[in-house]
Structure 1
Amino acid sequence: IPDVPAGAYTLDKSHASLVFTLNHLGFSHYTAAFSAFDARLTFDPARPEASTLEATIDPRSLTLPSPPAGFKDELTGPQWLDAGQFPAITFKSTKVEVTGANTAMVTGDFSLHGVTRPVVLDVTFNGGYAGHPMDPHARIGFSAKGSFNRSDFGIAYGVPAPGTTMGVSDAVTVAIETEFSGPPLATKPAA
C-alpha cells in the first residue's frame, strides 16, 4: 500500500459511481444507477482490517437509461423502492477481512426498504497518494462489487416464478467506483 496517511476520508462525489444490474426477462442485464450518495471512510493502511465505512444512498436519485414515461416514479414507488416511506438506503461496515495485497471483503449492515441484512462487498484498493501540489490532500481509490437478493429486503414484485425468467431477477449486482479525499498533505517546515 502506498504512503497514505491513516485518518478520516470523505467521498469525492465527482469521482464516484454506483451502478446496479438486474436480469430482465432473461434477455439482458438491465443497468441503472443512483446519482446521490455519500460515504465516510476511516482508513488505516497499516491495519486495513480496522477500517470502517458508512454510506447513504438517496433512492429518489435513481437514474435510468431512456425510461418510459412514469417508469422512474413506478420504481421509486410502493411496489419497488418505496422511497416515500424509506428515504435512505444505508451500508455500515461491520467487518473488513483482508484477502490479498490490495483486496478485502467488507461485510456490512445493508438497510434497504426498511430491512437490514448483512451484505458482503469484494473491494479492491486501486491506489492513492499522501497529496500533490494540485491536490493537497491524501487521495485513495477503491472498486467494489457485491450482490444480494431483493426479495430478502421485501421487494419481491416481478420476481420470476421458479423455472422461468419472465420478470426481473431477484438477484441484484452492484458495482461501485470511488475516490476519497483524506487528511491534508503534511508540509515540511521551512529550513
Structure 2
Amino acid sequence: MKPLLPVSIGLILLAACSPSPKNAPGNLTSSSPSAASAAPSVDKIPAGEYRTDPAHTALTFTVNHLGYSHYTAQFASLDAHLTLDPAHPEAAVLKVNIDPRSLRLPTPPKGFYDELMGKQWFDATAFPHITFASTKIEKTGVNTARVTGDLTLHGITKPVVLDVTFNGGYPGMAGFDPQARIGFSAKGAFKRSDFGMGYGIPAPGSQMGVGDEVAFTIETEMQGPPLKP
C-alpha cells in the first residue's frame, strides 16, 4: 500500500546555532564542565522581530505506515515571524506560514505527490496555506517552554501544543553575522482526522493503512535586529 501522509506544523521561538565553539568568541570549549552544564542565556539577545533563516530550518513529520515503519517527509517552505522580548518570553508572538506544495517525499511513486495535493488530502488548490499562530506560552524550565497555538490545516483550525527548547543565540557578530540570531528545537503531534484528513486510517483493530497521529519536529534558526555599533 502506498505511504500516505499528512502534515504537521507548528512552531515557535528561540534558539540558535552560532559558530562552532572553537571559533565563537567568548565560548567555552566543549570539554569544560561548566560549558556542558550551563543553560543557554538570553541576556544579550535584543528584543525585536525575528524571522526564520530558511538555510537553517527544517520541518519533518512522520506517520505510521501499516505498522511496519514511520513514513517520514518534510516541508521545504516554512516562514515564521516572531516578536520577542527576552525579558518577557511568555509575551512572545509567533506566526507561521507553510506552503503545502513544498512537500518533499522520499522517492515518491509516480503520481503520488499529485494525489497528496488533491482533494482527499491537502487539497492545496483550495487551501494553499498551512498556518500556526501562538495563543499562549508557558515556561517549563530554564530553556524550555510549552507553546499553544491555532493550527489551520485543510481549512480547519484546532489548537496544537509545541514543546520547545531554546538552544542559544547572540546579538550579532561584526564581520561574520551582523544580525541577531536565535535557535530552537520543537516537537509536537496531532490527529489528522481532526483536520478532515481521515482517508486511509486503519479500521479498529487493524494496522492496514496510514496512522491517524502525525508527529513532527522542527529545527530552526531565526535572524533578528542588526548588531548595534
Verify same fold: TM over 0.5.
yes
SS in structure 1 of the partner of residue 72 of structure 2:
strand
- Aligned match of 1:26: 67
- Aligned match of 2:187: 145
Work out which of the residue numbers 120, 134, 140 in structure 1 matches 2:161. 120
SS in structure 2 of the partner of residue 18 of structure 1:
strand
1:163, distance to aligned residue in structure 2 (A)? 1.3
- Aligned match of 1:36: 77
**Residue deviations 1:124-151 (CA, integer Å, cap 9, x gap):** 0010001112111110001110000000
SS in structure 2 of the partner of residue 163 of structure 1:
coil
Partners of 2:122 and 2:212 in 1: how far apart? Answer: 14
- Aligned match of 2:198: 156
SS in structure 2 of the partner of residue 72 of structure 1:
helix
- Give the partner amino acid of 1:180: M
* Unaligned runs of at least 5 residues, structure 1: none
Partners of 1:43 and 1:142 in 2: how far apart? Answer: 13
1:68, distance to aligned residue in structure 2 (A)? 0.5
The structure whose residues are more often strand, as a share, is 1
**1:75 aligned onto 2:121:** no
Work out which of the residue numbers 201, 204, 207 in structure 2 matches 1:165. 207
**Residue deviations 1:23-49 (CA, integer Å, cap 9, x gap):** 000000000011112010011111110
**Residue deviations 1:156-188 (CA, integer Å, cap 9, x gap):** 00001111111000000011111000011111x
**Residue deviations 1:53-89 (CA, integer Å, cap 9, x gap):** 0000000111000000000111111111111111000
Work out which of the residue numbers 123, 126, 136 in structure 1 matches 2:178. 136
- Aligned match of 1:51: 92
SS in structure 2 of the partner of residue 169 of structure 1:
strand
- Give the partner amino acid of 1:66: T
Partners of 2:156 and 2:73 in 1: how far apart? Answer: 21
- Aligned match of 2:148: 107
Runs of 4+ in 1 over 6 A off after TM superposition: none
TM-score, length-scaled by structure 2: 0.81
Pairwise CA RMSD: 0.7
- Aligned match of 1:13: 54
- The percentage of aligned residue pairs carrying the same residue is 65
SS in structure 1 of the partner of residue 211 of structure 2:
coil
SS in structure 2 of the partner of residue 66 of structure 1:
coil
SS in structure 1 of the partner of residue 181 of structure 2:
strand
* Unaligned runs of at least 5 residues, structure 2: 1-40
- Give the partner amino acid of 2:197: I
- Quick one: higher RCO (CA 8 Å, sep 6+), 1 or 2? 2
